[in-house]
Every structure is written in structure tokens, then in C-alpha cells.
Structure 1
Amino acid sequence: MRATFVLGRIAGVRVGVHWSVLFIFGIIAFGLSQGRLPETYPGRAWTVYWAAGLCTAVVFFASLLAHELGHAVVARRNGVEVDDIVLWLLGGAARLRSEASSPGAELRIAGVGPLISLLLGGLFAFDAWLLELASGPGVVVEMVAWLAGINVLLAVFNALPAAPLDGGRLLRAFLWWRTGDRLRATTGATAAGRVFGWLLVVLGLIAFMRTGMFGGLWLALIGWFLITTATAEGRQAHLREALADVPVRNVMTPEPLAVSADTTVAGFLTDARYRYRHSAFPVTEDGAPVGLVTLDSARKVPQAEAHAVAVREVMVPLSQTTVVGPDGPLADLLPRMEPGAEHRVLVVEDGRLVGIVSLSDVSRTVTWLMNTAPGQRGGP
């Protein structure tokens, strides 16, 4: 899940928002302003209800962000780098570059999220109680009470022992500690996630057929998300196991053809060297990599301007490109790879470009591994 736009960095972690957040944001604001708040405290102006609903939705997403920031901060303290945090339709996700090194680290990283949500729920409940004692505005009391309830619900739901929920990671930490086998632990957690997901799908469809309420379909949607995500996690775990001993240099295309940052877009597009071989090329300046340019991004430049625009102006800068060393494990690179020419991985050693990796390179290696006996594996 990639962010539609980036909010900035908090505690050194890039925070983004997917466009689907607007959908759930609207549902929360509308549901509160047109349902719960006027039903509980009637007689206020419609602007009061809408202002309260919008403010509550904002604070709710801030609570989600705090939950994910907890994961990110604890992950970094346990030696796991964090790519970013993305808020989206069904909550939030902190994207980690690698896995925890031990069951204890997995336990700490997974457990902090529900703990933060539970603490926030308790804090909001305490605030609601204080406001009630002080005879505060009823609408405000209801806003804070709703935030207390939703955070406690978020903590309880995330603590359920089913991947990809935080509880699934807690289950995996326990199974990993008990068996000493991370792959076996992941298989158990993902199986629990699929069972729980199907349970939600069935319950959601039954509730919808009996009541016709949208909430049943929403429950089924969450269940389907759990099934697909848990299945993907299981496949990813087996893939990581297969690639555990494969270094990046065995997969990369060595000494890739690069384009100078000062080359004009017109020169880049008309040069026969770049026309047929690939869809993306590393960009270098004085021999050092500075970014990645795709043919698609270059072709978007109007022909009338292509002779005056340099490749550096249309490239993906190095800061937004995945860069790895040639001796790093390919398994740690997998979570950071995505489809699309603009997501190619640059392989750099001592400041010098030595290779490039695409998803097709990884797929080719996986196919080779799956069709080769372990004793015959010397390199793809």
C-alpha cells in the first residue's frame, strides 16, 4: 500500500496517507454528525454536529498514527529499519524493511501498538469522566467517549491472535519461541489469520442478509482483507526462506547501462542504447548514482521542451529509490520491492553503481530455486 501523498516525517519516520482514508474519514464524520451526536444531544445547530464529527475523525486518525508510530519506534530500537507509515481505508500500516531478529524483539514490536491504543482509550475515558463531572458540553463529552470506545476496540481487535493483526505477530513470537522455527511460527499465525478472516466473512454476510445493514458487509470486507493479507504473508515467509542464503549480487543485472544526469530528455529518448533494452535506467553524475529514470516519465515531457529539460529533472531521486549493497540478503529486499519500472533497486558498493534489480530478476531466481535440488544450487 503506497501513500497517495506524504504528510512529512514524525520521529524520523515518513508518514503518508492513501486516498482511501477520505472514504472512512467521511463515514466517521457523517455517522457522528448525522447520527450519534444529534440522537444523544438533540437541539444543537447542524454546524456544531459537523464540527464535532470532523474533529473526532481527525483525532481518531491521530490515534491510529500513534499506534503505528509505536510499532515504528520500537522496531528501530530493536534493529529493524522502517520504510514508512501509511494510513489507509482499514487503518494504518508501518512498513518494515526486515523481520525481527528474535521472538523477544517480535513481541515488543507487535505488542506496543495495542498497548498504545489501550492507553489512549483509558486516557479518553478518564477525560470523558472529568468532563462529565465538570458539566462540560454534552457533545464534547460524547466525542471523547466515542474516542475512548473506539481505541479500546482497536486495541482488542488488533490483539486477536490472527495474522496480519498485531495479535497474529504476538502468536508468531510465541510459536517462534516455543519451536525455534520462524517459518513454522509464521505458518501457524497465517493459518489462524485465514480462519478468523473466513469467520468474519460468514458472520458479516449473515448479518447483512438478516438485517440489511451496511455494517455486515463492512465486517465481511475486513474478513476478506485478513484472508488475503494472511495468505500473502504466508507466501512471503516461504519465499524469504527460499531466498535466505541468496545475496543480491546473484540476482542483479551487473554493470547496468546508465544515463548521465545532464543528458537532455530528447537525447535520452533518441539514443539507440536506451530505446529497446529496458524501461528504467540508473542516472549517474560524475560516476556516482543520483537517481533512476524511466522511459515513461521521460516521454511525458512535451516534445517542444525535451531538448531543454535534463534527465535529472524527471528522474526519481536517489533519496526516493531503494538502494542496497551487493552482499546483502535478497530476502531482506523483498518487502521493499514493488511492481513498476520506477521501483527498480539500485545496487551500490563504495559509492559506485554495480547493479540493478527488478521484480523479474527476483521471479527468475525464485523459479530457478523451485526447480533446482538444494544440493545443486550454486547460483542462478
Structure 2
Amino acid sequence: MKETLSLGRIAGVRVGLHWSVLVIVVLVTLALARGRFPEAHPGHSPTVYWALALLTAVAFLASLLAHELAHAVVARRNGVEVEGITLWMLGGAARLRGEAPTPGTELRIAGVGPLMSVVVGGLMAGLAVWLDALHVSGLWVEAVAWLAAINIVLAVFNALPAAPLDGGRLLRAFLWHRSGDRLRATQGASAAGKALGWFMVVTGFGAVLFAGNLSGLWSALIGWFLIAAATAEARQAEVQGVLKGVPVSRVMTPAPVTVPSWTTVSEFLGEGPFGPYRHSAFPVVLPDGAVAGLITMGIVNRTPQQGRSRTTVGDVMRPLTDVVTVAPGDPVVDLLPRLQESDVHRALVLDEDRLVGIVSLADITRALSWPTVSSR
């Protein structure tokens, strides 16, 4: 899930929002401003209901962020690098670079999320009781109580033993510890996730068709997401099993064609598609041969035609700091999620500062078609 708006870094972890997070804000705000608040505490102006509902929705997003930050912080403390956190329509996702090395690490990373939600829920419940004792407006107490309840519900739901929920991670850690086989453990957790997903889809549509309860559509949507995510997770585990132990050097394209940074965009286009530039992405090098970045045909096509004769590749390239880089001896399984998150789906392979290759998702796909994959 790619972020639409970056919120910077919190506790050293990059945090962003996907545009679909607006769905959460809108649904929560509508449900509270048009339903729960006026029903429980009538007599206030619509402006008060809407303002407090919006504030409560934002506080709910903050609690989701706390849940994901807990995952990220514990992952980093256990040696698993974190790419970042993205909040989106169905909650949040902490993107980890690589897998937990042991079942114990998996247990700690997965378990801290629901625990954080329970802590937040408990704090909100305590705050609601305190505010009520101070005879603060019942509407404010209602908002805080709702936050307490929704965080407890979030903790319970996430603790269900079904991938990709946190409980699915806990189940995988248990199965992994029992069998010693990470792939079989992932398949078991994914099967549980698909079973839960289908249960939610069937019961959700059943509620709509037989009881006229439109909230069943939300349950069905979450169930469908669980099915898709659990299926993708099982497939990813199979891919990781095939690529286990394979270094990047086995799948990369060695000695890729490079483009000098001083080449104009017009000159670059004049050499293709039948000249040396026959691909769609090329490393860009400086006069001393050092790699400076990556140029893609997408970037070239966005360059205004009237300025291409004066614009150099170095002016419009994606700088090296914004490109995925990897060493030739790094595992392909650790690179794969980084490529999937990247806009260009390519990585430059550097041996210290020397460019030795380029690797794309297509290269890894071809590797998956090999009859046997071995690191030897």
C-alpha cells in the first residue's frame, strides 16, 4: 500500500497516509455525528456534533497509528528493518523489510499490536470514567468511551488466529515453532485467514439480504480483503521458499547499459529503440563513472517536448537516494518486497560504490520459472 501523503517520521519510522484513509474519517464522522452522538445526548447543535465527531475520527486514526508504531518499534528492536507505516481504508500496515528470523521474534512483533490497542482502550476507558466523575459534558464522555470501546474491539478482532491479522501472525509463530517449517506455518495461517474471510463475506451478505442490515456490506468488504490478503500471503511464502538462499547476483542483469548524465533527452531518445537504449530504465552515470541515479521512459515521456534538446538526463533522472539499491550478495527474498513497493520496480546493484547490475521484478519472475533454484 503506497502512501499518498507523508506525515514525516515518528520514532524514526516513516509514516504516511493513503488517500483511502478518508473513507475511515468519513464513515466514523457520519456514524457519530448523525447517529450515536445525537441519539445518546440530544439537544446540542449540529455543529457541535460534527466537530466532535471529526475530532473523534482523527483520534481513532491516531490509535491505529499507535498500533502500527508498536509493531514497527518492536520489529526494529529485534533486528527487522522497517520501511514505513501507511494508514489506509481498512486500518494500517507496517511495512517490514524481510521476515522475522525466529518464531519468538514473530511472536513479539505480532503480539505487541493488539496489546497496544488494549492499553489505549484501557486508558480511554479510565479517562471516560474520570471525565464523568468531574461532571464534564456527557457528549465528551461519550466520545472518549467510544474510543475506548473501538480500541478494545480492534484488539479482539486483530487477535483472531487468521492471516493477515496479528492473530494470524501469532498462529504462524506457534505453527512455525511446532513444525520448524515457516512455509507450512504460513500456509496454515493463510488457510485460517481465508476461512474467516469467507465466513464474514457470507454472513455479511446474509445480513443484507435477509435482515436488510446494510452494515453487513462493511463486514463483507473486510472479509473479501482478508481472503485476498491471505491468498497473497500464501503465494508470497511460496515464492520466498523457492528463492530462499538465492543472492541478487544470480537474478540481476549484469553490466547494464548506462546513460551519461550530460546526455540531453533528445539525444537519448534518438538512440532508441534500436540503438543501445532498448530497455525502459537505465542507470545514469557521472563523468567519473559513478552512478548518479536512474532514468525511466516514464520520466522521459513527462519531459516537455519543447525543452528536451536543452534538458539533460541528469536534470530529470531519479536521484540515487530515491532508488532502491542492493548489494550482489544480498538475498533476493529481502529485495522482493522493496521492489514491489518501489514506483519503478527496479533496483541498482552496487558493489560498494561500483555499479555491477540492475534487477527488476521481471528478472525475479524469470527466476521463479527455473526448474531448480539454488544458491550454489
- Write out the 4+ residue segments of structure 1 that deviate beyond 4 Å after TM superposition: 273-276
Whether the 8 Å CA contact 1:186–1:234 is kept in 2: the answer is yes
Q: Distance in 2 between matches of 1:47 and 1:129?
A: 25
Q: Which residue of 2 aligns with 1:301?
A: 303
- Residue-by-residue CA offset, 1:171-203 (whole Å, 9 max, x unaligned): 111111111111111111111111111111111
Structure-1-length-normalised TM-score: 0.94
Contact 2:110 2:169 (C-alpha < 8 Å) held by counterparts: yes
User: Is residue 280 from structure 1 mapped to residue 288 from structure 2 by the alignment?
Assistant: no
Matches within 5 A, 1:1-380: 1-272=1-272, 277-285=278-286, 286-338=288-340, 342-368=344-370, 371-372=371-372
Give the letter for the 1:190 counterpart: S
Query: Does the 8 A contact of 1:293 with 1:342 survive in 2?
Result: no
Supply the distance in 2 between the matched residues of 1:277 and 1:268 (Cα, whole angstroms). Answer: 11
Say whether the 8 Å CA contact 2:132–2:141 is kept in structure 1: yes
SS state at 2:340 partner: coil
Unaligned runs of 5+ in 1: none
Name the SS of the counterpart of 1:342 in structure 2.
Answer: coil
Deviations 1:119-155 (A, max 9, x none): 0000000000001110111221111111101111111
Contact 1:269 1:295 survives alignment (8 Å): no
Tell me if structure 2 keeps the 8 A contact 1:84–1:94: yes
TM-fit CA distance, 1:60: 0.6
Q: Would the alpha carbon gap of residues 67 and 341 (structure 1) be closer, same or farther in structure 2, given more than 3 Å must change?
A: closer
Maintained 8 Å contact 1:339/1:359: no
Residue type of the alignment partner of 1:219: S
**CA distance in 2: counterparts of 1:354 and 1:43, whole angstroms:** 71
Q: Distance in 2 between matches of 1:94 and 1:164?
A: 12
Q: Which amino acid aligns with 1:246?
A: V
Gaps of 5+ in 2: none
What is the Cα-based RMSD across aligned positions, in Å? 1.7
Could you tell me how far 1:40 is from its partner in structure 2? 1.1
Partners of 1:162 and 1:189 within 8 A in 2:
yes
Q: Which amino acid aligns with 1:299?
A: N
Change (3 A) 1:275 1:225: farther
* CA distance in 1 between partners of 2:254 and 2:22 (Å): 43
Shift of 1:378: 7.5
Once the two structures are superposed, what CA deviation does each residue of 1:40-91 show, in whole Å capped at 9, x if it has no partner?
1111111111110111111111111111111111111111111111111100
> What TM-score does the superposition give when structure 2 sets the normalisation length?
0.95
Cα distance in 1 for partners of 2:255, 2:343 equals 18
**Amino acid in the other structure paired with 1:217:** L
Aligned mates of 1:66, 1:94 — CA distance in 2: 11
Q: Secondary structure at the match of 1:338?
A: helix
Query: What per-residue deviation string (whole Å, max 9, x for no partner) do you get for residues 21-41 of structure 1?
Result: 112211111111111111111
- Paired with 1:206 and 1:227, the residues of 2 have a C-alpha distance of 18
**313-322 vs 353-362, greater mean Cα deviation:** 313-322
Cα deviation for residue 339 of structure 1 reads 8.2
Which has the higher mean CA deviation after the structures are superposed, 102-111 or 312-321?
A: 312-321
SS in 2 for 1:52: helix
> Residues 106 and 311 of structure 1: is their aligned pair in 2 closer, same or farther, counting only changes over 3 Å?
same
Question: What residue identity is the alignment partner of 1:266?
Answer: S
Q: Size of the alignment, in residue pairs?
A: 374
User: In the alignment, is the contact (CA less than 8 A) between 2:207 and 2:214 conserved in 1?
Assistant: no
CA distance in 1, matches of 2:16, 2:80: 19
